[in-house]
Amino acid sequence: MTNNRFIMDFSKNSRLPKMGAALRVNPVAITAFTLLSILSILGTVFLNGRGVADLFVDSYLVVTLLAAVYVLFGLKVANQWEKAVILRFGKFTALKGPGLFWIIPIVDTVTEWIDHRVMVSPFSAEKTLTRDTVPVDVDAVLFWLVWDAEKAALEVEDYRSAITWASQTALREVIGVLDLADILVGRAKMDKDLQKIIDERTTPWGITVSSVEIRDIVIPQELEDAMSRQAQAERERQARVILGESEKQIAQSFADASVAYHDNPTALHLRAMNMLFEGLKEKGALVIVPSSAVDTMNLGGLSGTVALARQHNGNDS
């Protein structure tokens, strides 16, 4: 058990170059290696046919094959967005790329190919308590890029994993100091705070954070239902307040009209007669008028006039 743990720790902390980066072979080197190998074989056959001494033929074969192997492992190509980190006998010596460049096999080692494009890393915080002790799940996206390839390769073992862990830790810290209401309505502020915190942590690694965006915030279903009921109750309360204000305005209008009619009885009579006329315009309408209103507004004569008009209209038809 102890030996296994030692092997695991050694493999984890080892500073040996990554095999994929060290043995990365490009099509240009493969083509050159193939051509040199064919040339070596053809030259050997030709020299043997000419009766050249075996020592010279063997020397030619070894030299050409070594040249082919040197080209295969020494000729490197970096893409436009890449930088190759070169170590010579374990010590940093240069950054190469983009384009073609040469290294000395065995002496030089390409430990890392650093991508300088903007990278996208999703991260999340699950069941994290807010300041008012509400567990939330938050998903976010981090946009970042490497501005110093030397620091990214030498200052941190795995800068991709490091920035992911730093982002998750920062997200949990920001959630822990905010209330749920602030998180739900203050996403822009959370984005800025996260960008500032993560950028401060990754700057020594040669990495800068372009932006952080909160994608989704998930709260417990019970709390979501309670908030929905609260919002519905608030809308109903506002509707009742608006209805009460409308009733108040209508009552005020009636009060103002009563004051105007109190000082001007003729206007009141005209208004009453207009209302009666509007009611009688409909066919088959029945209007009940108090006897006091008949005496006050002389509606008896008015009713007779209306009846005569209707009888006259019936005779004409």
Q: Where are the domains of the chain?
A: 14-114, 119-219, 221-263, 265-317
| pLDDT for position 259 | 73
With a cut of 90, say whether residue 24 has pLDDT above it: no
Joined tokens for residue 272: 């009453």
| pLDDT for position 131 | 87
When pLDDT is cut at 50, 70 and 90, the band that residue 297 belongs to is low
Q: What top-level class would CATH report for the domain 119-219?
A: alpha beta
Contact 135, 170 (CB under 8 A): no
With a cut of 90, say whether residue 257 has pLDDT above it: no
When pLDDT is cut at 50, 70 and 90, the band that residue 120 belongs to is very high
Q: Please tell me the least confidently modeled range out of 20-29, 97-106, 169-178, 265-274.
A: 265-274
pTM for the whole structure: 0.62
Which percentage of the chain shows pLDDT scores above 90?
37
SS3 155: coil
When pLDDT is cut at 50, 70 and 90, the band that residue 1 belongs to is very low
SS3 215: strand
Reference 175, options 142, 128, 214, 140; nearest CA is: 128
